[in-house]
Amino acid sequence: MITILKGDITKSNTDAIVNAANIYLLGGSGVCGAIFKAAGAKELQAECDTLSPIKTGEAVITKGYNLKAKYIIHTPGPRYSGPEDAVLLRNSYYNSLKLADEYKLNSISFPSIGTGVYRYPLEDAAKVAIAAIHEFLNDYPNTTIKQIYFYLFDDNTYNTYMNELNKR
Ligand code: ADP
């Protein structure tokens, strides 16, 4: 059910991909910049502007525009300041899955939220991410979501999430 891949999330053909957004839902750097570019920045920004701002850990959904994915779920992770941020990072994963379930989606792809510009320590972030997904699946046993993917960009991130998943 959880599959970890190495690669570019903009190439994913799941029903939704998740964007590690900022609270203003502005196209930025990192995975956010890549998603805006691949989706078509002008149209995506116009829709995001109607939803902005949102809070850290919340999630909103837009169309996928030029992506293979039909939808983009945007969630700002925390700018890391300490272990107490775990709940906000957990909320990003949990609320993204809740929204995908509300839209009756079957598949979703996540990047490693928070571990780029927002500097969440990688091993801690992987723990929180995998735990949040299991928490959601426990809470929503009848969810429409059947496939959950991670698209991880570099070896270190990929290996860290693989290790965390294999602990279960
Ligand atoms: P944040 O601001 O939440 O820290 P970043 O975009 O800076 O988000 O980084 C999150 C992760 O996304 C990093 O591991 C980064 O290497 C990765 N990333 C960057 N571009 C892509 C992409 N096209 N597909 C998947 N992951 C990506």
Q: What is the pLDDT of residues 36-47, one digit of tens each?
A: 999 999 999 999
6 lines ligand 1 (CB under 6 A): no
The C-alpha atoms of residue 30 and residue 3 are separated, in whole angstroms, by 22
- Token couple for 150: 């991670």
Residues shown for the chain: 168
78 lines ligand 1 (CB under 6 A): no
pLDDT tens for each residue of 63-88: 999 999 999 999 999 999 999 999 99
152 has a pLDDT exceeding 90: yes
How many other C-beta atoms can be found within 10 angstroms of the C-beta atom of residue 155? Answer: 9
pLDDT tens for each residue of 92-104: 999 999 999 999 9
pLDDT tens for each residue of 109-121: 999 999 999 999 9
Predicted confidence at residue 28, as pLDDT, reads 86
Contact 115, 122 (CB under 8 A): yes
129 lines ligand 1 (CB under 6 A): no
Ligand 1 atom at minimum distance from 77 CA: 3
| Interior/surface letters 68-104, b for 16+ CB within 10 angstroms, e for the rest | ebbbbbbbbbbebeeeebbebbbbbbbbbbbbbbebe
140 has a pLDDT exceeding 90: yes
Instruction: Calculate how far, in angstroms, residue 111's C-alpha sits from the geometric centre of ligand 1.
Output: 6
157 lines ligand 1 (CB under 6 A): yes
For atom 23 of ligand 1, which residue has the closest CA?
8
Indicate the average pLDDT of the chain: 98
9 lines ligand 1 (CB under 6 A): yes
What percentage of the chain reaches a pLDDT higher than 90? 99
pLDDT tens for each residue of 119-128: 999 999 999 9
Residue to substitute in 8, 10, 11, 31 for testing ligand 1 pocket (most ligand atoms within 8 angstroms of CB)? 31
Q: How confident is the model at residue 30 (pLDDT cuts 50, 70, 90)?
A: very high
Predicted confidence at residue 4, as pLDDT, reads 98
150 lines ligand 1 (CB under 6 A): no
What percentage of the chain reaches a pLDDT higher than 70? 100
Instruction: Calculate how far, in angstroms, residue 1's C-alpha sits from the geometric centre of ligand 1.
Output: 22
Question: Which CATH fold topology does 2-166 show?
Answer: Leucine Aminopeptidase, subunit E; domain 1 (3.40.220)
168 has a pLDDT exceeding 90: no
Find, among 167, 98, 163, 103, the residue nearest to 132 by Cα. 98
The C-alpha atoms of residue 100 and residue 75 are separated, in whole angstroms, by 12
